[in-house]
Amino acid sequence: MKPVKIYGFTIVETMLFLGISSLLVLGVLVGTGSAINIQRYRDSVTSMQSFLQQQYSNVANVSNDNSGNLKCYGDNSTLPTGQSDCVILGEFITTNGAKELTTQDVVGYDNSSSLPSNDLTALQAYDIQLSPVAPETYDISWGASLQKADGSQLQFSMLIVRSPFSGAIQTFIDTDSTGVITGDSQHPLSGFLTTQYLTNDATICINSNGLFTGNSMAVYIEKDASSSSGVETKGADSGCR
């Protein structure tokens, strides 16, 4: 009677199989984790873009939350919505550290007796100011942060206003501010209403803070943007580190 041969794997073959399988599983896990981090980073960039675009929508389609206690300099009335000369003109957006933006309504009261000749003089006549209503906060998602193209801290302010003269939307940008523009104690935003800030664009670099090792993306705001289409995202051509 012939002996029966039993076929199987040797210990060496089994160890090789387990080792190769482990490497394959590890590669899949690492690749998946990297893909997730890249997607999270891109989400933080597009979310930032959407937030800024929404501010243009807020200016174009004003939502007045005045409960009857809103006042402007020169307008001491506390009349209900629609009965006061104190009007909402736009939004003021500024950095609050590297991981946070704040946005606040901008209001104004026309105390000029003469007709304006253009959008800028009309805004200057309205003595614009920040609304007494508390600002809203936007947190940069997934641990990302804001910076300049050279990697330094970003100090950024943007004023989006609708002209009471023509109804056109204008954007005033300062990329080197401390977060607060001051004219004087009664007109804290008057220093922003100059042609200097109409000619500035802004590249806001989004630092991934280790989510991935590629070049940083950016949110770009074109100078004197008049709508949400003026806010774009940039990839390899962003100039960011």
Residue 4 domain-assigned (yes or no): no
Looking at residue 73, its pLDDT comes to: 57
Are 165 and 122 in contact by the 8 Å Cβ rule? The answer is yes
* pTM recorded for the entire structure: 0.80
Residue 7 domain-assigned (yes or no): no
Asked whether the predicted pLDDT for residue 185 surpasses 60, the reply is no
Listed in sequence order, the residues at least 6 apart from 132 whose beta carbon sits closer than 8 Å to its beta carbon are 70, 71
Q: How many domains does the chain have?
A: 1
Range of the domain at 131: 14-238
Return the higher-pLDDT residue of 225 and 82. Answer: 225
Residue 2 domain-assigned (yes or no): no
Return the higher-pLDDT residue of 33 and 153. Answer: 153
Residue 75 domain-assigned (yes or no): yes
Q: How many CB atoms lie within 10 A of CB 138?
A: 18
Report the pLDDT averaged over residues 200-216.
87
